[in-house]
Each structure stands twice: as structure tokens, then as C-alpha cells.
Structure 1
Amino acid sequence: MDAAMTSTTDTACPNCGGPVAASDRFCEACGTELRPAAAAPATPALDTDTEPTVEITAASTPDIEYVGPCASCGGTVGADGYCETCGTKAAKPRDHFAEQPAPWVAGVCDRGLRHSRNEDAMALGADAEPGSRALLVVCDGVSSSLDSDVASLAAARAAVEVLAAGHAQGLGTESSRAGAIAARLRAAADAASDAVLDSTSPDSPNPASCTFVAAVLEQGLLVAGNVGDSRAYWFPDAGEPVALTTDDSWAAELIASGVTREEAESGPHAHAITRWLGKDAPDHTPRTTTLEVAGPGWLLVCSDGLWNYCSEAAPLADLVRQTAAEHADEPKATASALVDWANAQGGQDNITVALARL
């Protein structure tokens, strides 16, 4: 960090001596209310957080839930983000949020246990009638790039807005309808890419970037496409599970060359992606797959925070089905339980699980 940017915004708690920021109202170590001397200066200070995070607020996004109540005492978290009872700083809404546009479609996005911020994002859409129309988009910010949490959320929202713009009709045949949906999915990827670029400073030394995966279900026709290593799966109740996407990654190339999946996905470059969305991206056109859905099942779209621990379609399908059975096939509860499961395996990465129950 440049010396000119190391603003003296940090001070010490008058009670315990722990470090506090000038903007903090309470000490995170002991909960003491800070004296006026520790208040923010009249001139806004530079944010010295090396991982700036876009804030999600109830006012701007009423469909995204807050984390709460207070994790320490169960008290009410105030508008300033601190518990009104014990003063503990609450988790940021961006760290963990859920969406459920219809009873049969839901998703949960979580920071995990090891990352200091949540760079995953999702955006969902659905019609009310079960099995009719669902739109699931997941973007995973690249940790080594700047503002990837901002970019991934902007990308997911921009993509689902394009996907929701209209129903694809084609020329009346299934093939033309599939082609029309695939074209709309590519347009959604274009919009997501533009959103990432809009989130990137023109002179950024490490421009924001993220992966992209989207699945569109319309009246029995399922189209999925991806850029990077976030994935989509179809798990029919009766029949073989299907991986709808192929990763754009070094590991996927090793697997294609004959290396075992276990060896490729546990190697030193297992999560090196070969395509992404961003200013320096070589190509952001998603490869698409089309599938006619003939019966009930689960559509899963997820980031590598989930599939890291269960990569192949068959065992992942077993996990989803078992988890769903334990939660009465309710998508939101099932997605939340799958996030908890991934955290129980180590929570090494951010985790996003989006589900549609057909």
C-alpha cells in the first residue's frame, strides 16, 4: 500500500487498548462504547480495509435477508450494524444471504469459514407455478483481483435481469426454442461482463474478475452455460445425474488428457481457471448445454465452495437428495443445509448453492 494511503484512522479502545477504527461505535474486543475522541473525523477517512465489500441493505434489496439476531447474545442488531445489547459488531449482510423468488426455487450464499469476505454472488428468478420457469445465476469472484465481491454481485444481477426480460419462443420447434434461450443466455453473459467492467477502475493494476454460470428452465427445457469453474447439475429423481457444464480450468484440461479427477482436482493448479469475466478475459462467451426435462428432480447451480468437497455428479446427487429428504424437499432449507455441510467439511472457500425443485 502506498504511504499516502496509510491514513491514521485506527486508534485504541480506552477500556482494553484493543485496536478500533475511527468509524467504530463500539470496541469489537470488549464492547465498550467509544468516547467522542474516537469518533470519525470531520473529513471522511480512507477505508483501510484491504478487501472492500459492497454492502447489501434491506432498503435497496428487500429480497436479501440479514444475518441476525446478534450471534453473541441474541439481542437486536441496530441500523449501525452493532448489537444494541452487548455492542458486538454483526456480520455484514453480504457475508450470508438467501433468496427465494418462488417456493420451489431458492439459494443461499455464504462467506465460508476461511475467507474474510464473500466474493460469491447469486441472483434468482422464478414464476410461481412449480416447474414452469426458473432463472439461476451464480458468479464467483476471483480472490486475487480487486473488488471481485462488487463485480460478482453486479454481474449476477445484470445477468438475471436480461434472462427475465422475456420468454424465448423461437420458431415454434424445440430446437429453435432452445436456440433462442441459449442466445438469451449469451446476452446475459454479455451483460454480466459489462457489469464487471463497470466495477473496475480503468487504471486498476489487478482488474475485477469472476466466473459465471447460469441455468434457465422454461416449460421442460433446460439450458445451462458457464465461463469458469462454477457449475450446474441436473439430478433427476429417476435416472442418471448429469453435469450440465464443463469447467474452464487447468484441472478440466488435465482430466480431458487422461489424468484422474481426484489427482487433477487436488493438484497445485486445481482452481486455476482458463476463462472468466473481466477486463483481461480472453473470451466470455458461455458454452451451453440443452436438456429436455422429462420428470421430477433437482436443478443445482453452485460455486466451487460446494463441489470442492463432492465433485462428481453421482455422489453430489446423493448428497442433495439425502439433504432434501431431511428437509421435506424445501429448496431454501436444503440449500442452507448444503452450505452448512460444506462449512463442516472445512469451509475453505465462499459457498453458493441455488436450487430449483421440479
Structure 2
Amino acid sequence: MTCSSCGADLAADALFCEACGAKVGSGQAPTALTVPVGATDEDSPISTPTAVRAPVEVSAPQARTCAECGGTVGADGYCESCGLKAASERDHFREAPTAWVGGVCDRGIVHTRNEDAMALWADDAAPRRAVLVVCDGVSSSKDSDVASLAGARAAREVLRPAMPQGMGTAESADAAATKVLTSAAAAANTAVVAHTDPASESPASCTFVALTIDGNLLRHANIGDSRAYWFADGGAGVQLTVDDSMAQMLMAGGTARAEAEAAPQAHAITKWLGRDSPDIVPVVGSLVVDGPGWAMACSDGLWNYASEPSAIRAQMDAAGTTDPGALALALVEFAKAAGGHDNITVALARVEP
């Protein structure tokens, strides 16, 4: 089977195309997602919110890059430089909206498909702005790979405009930004629900982390255990987000990080996006940085093997590159070499205020 919209190969039981998101048999790719504007805590994760809506264009996928030689993958699925057949676009893809922002999303070694997703955006005009969104699909649903990608892209579109400044004070600007980040999570949830088979007894679900860069101001929001970090040049790094997980609950009770993250239910998440989610309101925060460094959003496929910020920093230093795409790829390859037991996503922005 092939998709009638983009020609990509389809699995025999596919309901949606993994490449373009079109519903199988519809003959038309979705060119826009409807996302809520001004969503509130009362938005239901089950039904479509009734808030005022605005159509948001979903950008076309970027040209694929060969994982072996870096060449361009042609429409036939083969590298135009080395001739090797590329993995499925959903199994390994990269984004680089500008020279200082880049990311890699990879299936890993053990899993049979990639349920991670990312969506990146950047603007080079001063002050430079960027958006990094990472969603990690929960493997219990056959729709999670499609739904997580739709969710990440929907959140990115909400976060592309500059953050409102409220009444001009720091407190009102923070409140306005919190509302936008909450709306982004709600938009992601709407997209996840929309890309879930209504008859599924195990509805699609995913984690969510969003990181916005506006000059020297970082804002972040998360649901689940995908993370945001800040690595100042010359520093060990800091984890910006707090996981919604059993491991985090153990740590809050006094258990050491290493012991908590090795517990049998450590990766059980207590919040998520999806039709059966009890809470889609993210935890938000901000950081003003006073020097250059790296902003990162990633899934647990990376931090499984380097949970402490200093451990990730050591791998970044070992990579020996300042190109965000190359650095993200080096971190993905590190996680794969360490076992690759989960899907792996790393998105980076070089911040130089």
C-alpha cells in the first residue's frame, strides 16, 4: 500500500500516513491543524475544545538527509550520494531551521518504530528566537507515532509568534507567557486526540516538552518526562524541567537520583497528553541567561544514559563540534552505542545573547 497523498509506503493496517499524516483512503493530506486559542485548564482531553479557533498551517517536511554519508535522500528512498536505501523517514529524521538550531529524532536500536517526535522553528532577526518541541509517544498505542508528531507540530505553531508582554511588567509578561505555553500543550493534546483511532482501547498518548528562546530569555513547559536543559559555556549544565514520573516522586521523598531512576516503575509517567489524560496543564518556568551556551530539549532516550546534566555535558564536549545538528547527532549516536533501548530525540539551540 502507498499513500495517495505523498506516495510513501504504508503498513497493511495503517490508518494514517507516517510521512505526511494523511488519513489512509482520504486522498488528501491535512494542510492545516485547528488549534485552540486561549485554552484553559477546563479544556477536556477527550473532546475537542470549544474555544475560539484559528487554522494553523503545518509546514511541509524538509529534505531528508542520509544517516550514512549526509547526502540527500531522493524521492525513491535512496541516497543520491552513496546509493544506500534510507531508513523510513519516521525512523530517523533531522531538522535544521537555521544555522544555530538543529535536532535529530531516531528510532534507536531496540524499538521497531520511532514514536518520538520533534518540531523546530527559528527566526534569525534580532533578538534571535527559536522554538524546540519534543514529544515521546507511549508505545502501548499503534497511533502514538503519528499522534506525537502531529502534537509536536501543533504546539510549535502556537509558539511561533513572539510572546505577549502583558501589561509591561515582568509579572504580567510571565502570566501571559504561561497562558501561551498552556495553550501550546492544549493544541498538542487536541492534535494527539485527533490522530487517535476513535475505536482504540489504548488511545495514543505522549509526553511534551517545549522550550522557547527569545534573545537571552528561555521559557519552558513540560508534561511527562521529556526534559529541557541549559548548558552555559564552561558550566556543568542545569535541568530546567521537573519530570512527572514515579522516579521524580521517589526523589521528592528523599531517594537518591541513581536509585530512583533504577527503580522498576521509574519511567511510569504521572501526566501525559492524550484522550485519557487526567491533566494537560504543563509546569512552566523561565531562565534569563547571562552568557552563551546551549539550550536543549530531549526525550528520555538520551537521558536514560546520562541523567545528570554534567554527564550530558561531558558527551557534548567529547563530540568536538559547535554545529547544532552535528552535536545532536553525536548525542543520539552516544545513546545508541550505550544500548539504544528507547527512541532518541535531541534538539539544540546555540544561544549567544
TM range (shorter): 0.7 to 0.9
Counterpart code for 1:202? P
Q: Which one of the candidate residues 136, 147, 153 is aligned to 1:151?
A: 147
Is the 2:100–2:349 contact (alpha carbons within 8 Å) kept by the matching residues of 1?
Answer: yes
Post-superposition offset of 1:62: 4.9
Amino acid in structure 2 at the alignment position of 1:165: P
**SS in structure 2 opposite 1:195?**
helix
Counterpart for residue 66 of structure 1: 64
Distance 1:90 1:195, change over 3 A: same
In the other structure, the counterpart of 1:344 is 337
SS in 1 for 2:164: coil
Listed as ranges, the matches of 1:24-103 within 5 Å are 47-48=11-12, 54-56=18-20, 62-68=60-66, 79-81=75-77, 90-103=86-99
Q: Does the C-alpha gap of structure 1 residues 90 and 49 become closer, same or farther in structure 2, counting only changes over 3 Å?
A: farther
Q: Deviations for 1:120-143, whole angstroms, at most 9, x for unmatched residues?
A: 000011111476211110000001
1:297 aligns with 2:293: yes
Higher relative contact order (CA 8 A, sep 6+): 2
Does structure 1 retain, via aligned residues, the 8 Å contact 2:209–2:221?
A: yes
Report the counterpart of residue 161 of structure 1 in structure 2.
Answer: 157
Deviation at 1:52, TM superposition (A): 7.5
Whole-angstrom distance in 2 between the partners of 1:188 and 1:75? 34
Structure 2: state its 5+ residue gaps: 3-9, 22-28, 32-58
> What is the percentage of aligned positions where both structures have the same residue?
56
1:236 and 1:297 in contact (8 A); partners too: yes
Higher Cα Rg, which structure = 1
Q: Deviations over 1:309-329 (max 9, x none)?
A: 000122222322442xx11x1
1:197 aligns with 2:161: no
Amino acid at match of 1:272: A
In structure 1, stretches of 5+ residues that fail to align are 1-22, 25-45
Structure 2 CA distance for aligned equivalents of residues 89 and 237 of structure 1:
39
- Contact 2:299–2:344 (CA under 8 A) maintained in structure 1: yes
Determine the C-alpha separation between the residues in 2 that align with 1:171 and 1:240.
36
Matched pairs, number: 310
Change (3 A) 1:101 1:68: closer
Tell me if structure 1 keeps the 8 A contact 2:237–2:313: yes
TM-score by length of 1: 0.78
User: Shift of residue 146 of structure 1?
Assistant: 2.5
CA distance in 2, matches of 1:294, 1:145: 43
Q: Aligned residue for 1:9?
A: none
Q: 1:297 to 1:257 in 2, by over 3 A?
A: same
Worse-superposed segment, 99-108 or 127-136 = 127-136
CA separation of 1:268 and 1:218: change in aligned 2, threshold 3 A: same
Q: Which letter maps to 1:294? A: D
Distance in 1 (alpha carbons) for counterparts of 2:188 and 2:231? 27
